[in-house]
Structure 1
């Protein structure tokens, strides 16, 4: 590493401590932005969650952000939303709801750090009128079966005439006994699968949503329509999963970006969103090798759709420490050592310049461009491998594939470097037989 890089890193590194005030430069960079996307380099690192927590509290209190949207299932997060907004009949402790998450990997949101944040959010909301309370929503596409049951329950209560419509979808999926992989494999022989029934139900629920659009803005109606959108997205995702290539990834990230757009519309003019997800979803795919294989992600889509409304992408990374992960898909999570980052990686570069330190980097506004374009020679405009740990991790078998080639200042607007980090603490251990069919091979 050139000495000028070490000097440059040290001169550009801003202090990042446990004090909320250390985030002042990032708050200034965010300004009036309406979209702030906060990443993580793993799904099992407490330090990332805690920095996101601190920043998100400030965004809510000081800048009036409307909701937090996470890389989680819509039905599960809807239960958390009801608790944090003190909805009638909802549990008073959102931690109790999070502890009940049973879809693998439950520790993603069912951990002590998310419990602490949601309990704070509940207390914050209780001081506000219902229409101003800050929401907590899931963006992801995996909950096909749970969303189908939620649609059925809603129609039974509010539109019994449409129940048969939903039962047609249920009967189509029923032979697969709740196994998405079995359904996906079946579409090799019946390519159409359950798509016609799902799209027909979605069309009807979209009509219902349009009819109620001028009414009371009921979240129950919005949630029913969103569960139907999840059905359509999940059906398409699992069907694409059996083929190689980027299609299933792109379906998932388009679904998350589209859900974010619907949430912004639902929360009304001037709404502001905080998104919590993995770096691979948050950091602009065009500044990585993902673009070479035709992959897009949420960060790219939000930038493309909403740059005029202000978009800030924040990445995270660390050199070593511990992480909560499993060594096989659906396995029991355990605390694992994260070895020192590979020589030449971004994390190695930062560690050598800032040993045992934490730092915040806020990058100047730049247009996406090829690395080294226009004579840019700063370290953050060079391409370096950037570690990405999923829910499945084998620390002693780290490969080049664990590191995503990244131009840092083009992938993110800011970056939080935490030299050594600690694993999350789950609210409850997963049962050993709670195997979940694999839905994405890298687990992010």
Structure 2
């Protein structure tokens, strides 16, 4: 494809490509972010080192230069709370976050237990040690999967702090107990019989919410908040697994609403001046309304945060690559492998950017003005294929299922194109067994 055609397809986005070579080359993006309170940073796969590296570089600068309050990720609340306690140096926590990351158990563990996250966590801990406890930057999980872990956490917290209120938690525990801590078994049981655990879970959540509303914990003490959040996770997970068994887009929507609601709770907890960096897959942070997800009745975190908080400043940052390698699995629950990422499909966002950049890493600011004064949003109305790789990946057949029709300038505010990428390095190559099904629809 010649340069003329490339420019026609990408419009004024091409003249606004800015080379990326180091942290200082992110200056235009920092200027674009300005005073925004929400910066959502994506990834085109869960297993690409450069996506994690550039995301960490941007986050460091947001913390150091714009005083961002916490990082919220596509991870489980209990695991990430353990990492939060380590990076904020709570009493009794390991000095090295590696010990915590190696304790992550749910598949795919490599999403967080990898060398790039470890490097960032060590930096964050060192940064926090130079700040007073009440101003230390947190690290939290937004996701919905940790049904049993969160249930155990609620029961344990109530036994220690409110023994008179343990019974609602035990009723929920007894309801789930026959499924041997296997979410898939619970999901399919609710498909075959009308009984489910919704009633005891909702009862427990109602009591935890009432208790949290009545309590006024000191700022910096997450104990009460975390207990209520584990109850929220339990309720969200129960609903997620129940709807997953019935098929359709509803389980995806349950999950993304839960993540957006968790982000809102964290912002309220941290106060009116809080600022959040969110790390998730492009499919979660890129506005769903700019893709075919909208036609399927699906929403996502990026859309919800824009709808709820546009007046407070929301910046969505996507990622993409032309070719390289990725860490992924052949089937759900399998050990991670280093896999090739073939050259991007002709006519895709990644293919066009590969030719437009001459094979280099570059930043696009998608709402800046083009050469004739029109904004990129006015130019970039064409829907183009945009690659998305999940935790399960088959390079030989990716053209049939790994591209999302996308209007780039409506989906993101900025986009980082890394032309050739490498695979993440897991801290431990072996993965634990899992009873969970692949996240609908693509393991993202």
In the TM superposition, residue 439 of structure 1 has moved relative to its aligned partner by 3.9
The Cα of 1:125 is off from its aligned counterpart by 0.4
TM-score, structure 1 as length reference:
0.95
Aligned to 1:401: 401
Say which is worse superposed, 239-248 or 313-322, in terms of deviation.
239-248
**Residue in structure 2 matching 1:298, options 287, 290, 301:** 301
Deviations 1:110-164 (A, max 9, x none): 0000000010000000011110000000000000000000011101110111112
- With over 3 angstroms needed to count, the CA separation of the structure-2 counterparts of 1:157 and 1:5, relative to structure 1, is farther
Q: What is the match of residue 66 of structure 1?
A: 69
Output one character per residue of 1:8-32: Cα deviation in whole Å (capped at 9) or x when no partner.
5542210111x21100000000000
1:221 and 2:218 correspond:
no
Asked if 2 retains the 8 angstrom alpha-carbon contact of 1:217 and 1:266, the reply is no
Q: Specify which of 240, 243, 250 is matched with residue 243 of structure 2.
A: 240
Report the secondary structure of 2:251's partner residue.
helix
Aligned pair 1:14/2:18, yes or no?
Answer: yes
Gap change, CA 1:81 and 1:214, over 3 Å in 2: closer
Asked if 1:148 is matched to 2:151, the reply is: yes
Aligned length: 434
Tell me which residue corresponds to 2:437.
Answer: 438
Which among 102, 105, 111 is matched to residue 105 of structure 2? 102
* 8 Å CA contact 2:72, 2:263 repeated in 1: yes
Counterpart of 1:415 in structure 2 is: 415
- Partner of residue 254, structure 2: 251
Equivalent position of 2:276 in the other structure: 273
Kept after mapping to 2: 8 A contact 1:173/1:183: yes
2:254, 2:288 → 1: CA distance?
A: 15
Contact 1:357 1:418 in 2 (8 A): yes
Q: Go from structure 1 to structure 2 and tell me whether the alpha carbon gap of 1:419 and 1:375 turns closer, same or farther (over 3 Å shift).
A: closer
2:372 matched residue in structure 1: none
Aligned counterpart, 1:79 = 82
3-state DSSP class of the match of 1:121? helix
How far off is 1:233 after superposition?
0.2
1:272, 1:421 → 2: CA distance?
Answer: 30
Question: Aligned partners of 2:220, 2:420: CA distance in 1, in Å?
Answer: 45
**1:331-370 aligned within 5 A:** 331-364=334-367
For 1:371-393, what per-residue CA distance to the aligned partner results, in whole angstroms no more than 9, with x for missing partners? xxx99773x33110000000000
What are structure 2's unaligned runs of at least 5 residues? 370-374
Deviation, 1:354, is: 1.9
Spell out structure 1 runs of 4+ moving beyond 4 A: 7-10, 214-217, 374-377
Alignment partners' CA distance in 2, 1:229 and 1:400: 37
Task: Output the aligned Cα RMSD.
Answer: 1.7
